Amino acid sequence: MDGGEISFSAIHDRYAQSHFGKHLDGQLRWVRYKPASISGESWIHAPLGVDMNNLKHMPLIAGLTKSYLKHQEPEKALNRTDSQILMLAAQTHDWAEAITDDISFDQKTVVEDEDEATMMLFMLKRMLGGKLSRENLMQVYSTVKDRNSRLGRVFNAIERVGYMRSGLNAWTASTKPRGEVMRGLSPELEAELREALQWLASNVAGNQVGKLLEYAENYRPVGVYLESVRGRISDLFAGMPVAVFDKYPSDGEKGDEQLEQVQKFLIAHKAWKNSKFGGESGRKDIQNPQAAGGVAG
């Protein structure tokens, strides 16, 4: 890459100290699922940790990117330049949200996605224009915004692993005994938080599992990840309360979202059960998901 060695943490720190970064540091992620009765401060300290914060989310994805690079098959490993582009994409991919705000990917419209792409290019030029060549800037931009490009597919796989990680953390927290979901909350608020985390987890599973299974066919690190969490994913599908889908509108601006999300969840569940990760060895101790109070596929 032009310019020699790159300090990815220094790039993040420079952005974090800018007024854009400070604005992003004040933004919450996953806000659709936050109960109105739960304060923003409590949401930040909820079980998902740093992934509740828009600014801190990017170093998290950078860490997942490092893990991806570590677990590549030698014969398919990205070269040094591609690896650097991928790391830069991880550290910068949400810079535009300091202007556009965060919108969860399943809620984002085509227009909103195009607006974010425009702002992403603006932010890259503004923050890195003097440090990277135009060619390298456009490679980073393409990696983030073109999911059909060679590096764009890899980065999309890594982002989806990040979503799945958060969904599983939400599910695990929601299954903790009363008083342990988040300490310091009243029983009523804890119950609301538990339901919110289940809702978040169900959405992630329905929208990410199928695509991650596809990516695992071509990208060894994705398969390594799914293998490491196979029991947790099977638990999520088996134990998800049907009532969680009542939180979706059935007659909203986007139509019957409730039906759409139920269908996505069931399709993802079926794909998981039919995969090498989610077969009988994925979860042997639950034979009847419906008996466990969950959604059966």
In a domain, 2, yes or no: no
Which residues 6+ apart lie within 8 Å of 212 measured at CB? 157, 160, 161, 164, 222, 225, 226
248 pLDDT higher than 60: yes
169-188 tens-digit pLDDT? 999 999 999 988 888 889 99
Whether 3 is in a domain gets the answer no
Name the band, by pLDDT with cuts 50, 70 and 90, for residue 287.
very low
76 in a structural domain: yes
What's the pTM?
Answer: 0.88
Up-side HSE of residue 32: CA atoms within 13 Å toward CB? 17
pLDDT class for 32, splitting at 50, 70, 90?
very high
In a domain, 225, yes or no: yes
Q: Pick 289 or 114 by higher pLDDT.
A: 114
User: Does residue 289 sit within a domain?
Assistant: no
In a domain, 279, yes or no: no
Q: Is residue 163 part of a domain?
A: yes
Is the pLDDT higher at 3 or at 243? 243
Which of 245, 243, 270, 244 has the alpha carbon at shortest distance from 257? 245
Q: Give me 163's structure tokens.
A: 């979503």
| Residue 235 to residue 229: CA distance in whole angstroms | 10
pLDDT band at 282 (very low <50, low <70, confident <90, very high): very low
Rounded CA separation 189/82 (Å): 46
**What pLDDT score does 47 carry?**
75
Tell the burial category of 245 from Cβ atoms under 10 Å away from its Cβ (0-12, 13-18, 19+): buried
Find, among 50, 165, 145, 163, the residue nearest to 93 by Cα.
145
Structural domain containing residue 91: 8-273
Q: What is the pLDDT of residue 295?
A: 40
Task: Answer whether residue 293 is part of any domain.
Answer: no
| Confidence category of residue 213, pLDDT binned at 50, 70, 90 | very high
What does the pLDDT read at residue 106?
A: 58
Counting the structural domains of the chain, the total is 1
